[in-house]
Amino acid sequence: MNIKEYLSRKSKAFIIIIAMAVLCLVGLMDYVTGYDFGFSLFYLLPIIFVSWFVNRKAGMLFSLMSSLIIFVADYFAGKTFIPSVVELWDFSIHLGFFTIIAFLIAQLKSEFDEHMRLIVELKDSLNEIKMLSGMLPICASCKKIRDDKGYWNQIETYISKHSEVQFSHSVCPDCMEKLYPEIYKKIKEKEKNGQ
């Protein structure tokens, strides 16, 4: 079992707790390294994680929390913002970038799930289909078909066993004329009279 399958089986609460721990660790490392060292890229880890394994809303929430933690870490690390507009701009850029990533990852997960659902559906459909292919030995006279074991079967029996086809029997006009000439004549007379 790979890590993706393992995490897919875990509860959303477990995933959120792990992501929160990673987010706090990244925030701490961001504070310790100071504002001169760019650490923003590492905030994507918990955002991507929850966007994929939980949902889009969780990804958006982690985007907001990551932007706030960057702001707080820079503030406590001693970064001075001259006008308050710069602080707001910096926060907005981080929030916008993180939100876009969360949205795209959640959308990618949705498309991936749909793709996997269609693959499973297609495999199920293919398993249900029975197909006849290749050469069939058929008697030139009675039209029976020889199976893999060497037994001769009526064509209806053979095709029913190897496909989803069901048969209903009738008599074609040529056979009707040969086998039931009286009934054939009556039917033809009715057709001539327009009945």
For the segment 141-152, what is each residue's pLDDT rounded down to a tens digit? 888 888 888 889
pLDDT category at 61 given cuts 50, 70, 90 is very high
Mean per-residue pLDDT, 61-89: 83
- Residue 132: pLDDT over 80: no
More confident residue, 169 or 195: 169
Look at 15-19, 25-29, 73-77, 88-92 and tell me which has the smallest mean pLDDT.
73-77
Of 176, 174, 138, the closest CA to residue 159 belongs to 138
Mean per-residue pLDDT, 53-68: 94
Q: How many CA atoms lie within 13 A of 84 on its CB side?
A: 0
- What confidence score (pLDDT) does residue 1 get? 66
pLDDT category at 63 given cuts 50, 70, 90 is very high
Q: Model-level pTM?
A: 0.62
For 194, the 3-state DSSP assignment is: coil
- What confidence score (pLDDT) does residue 83 get? 58
In whole angstroms, give the CA distance from residue 83 to residue 119. 55
pLDDT digits (tens, 9 = 90+) for 1-54: 687 788 788 889 999 999 999 999 999 998 888 777 777 889 999 999 999 999
- What confidence score (pLDDT) does residue 55 get? 93
For 11, the 3-state DSSP assignment is: coil
- Tokens representing 33 are 């390294």
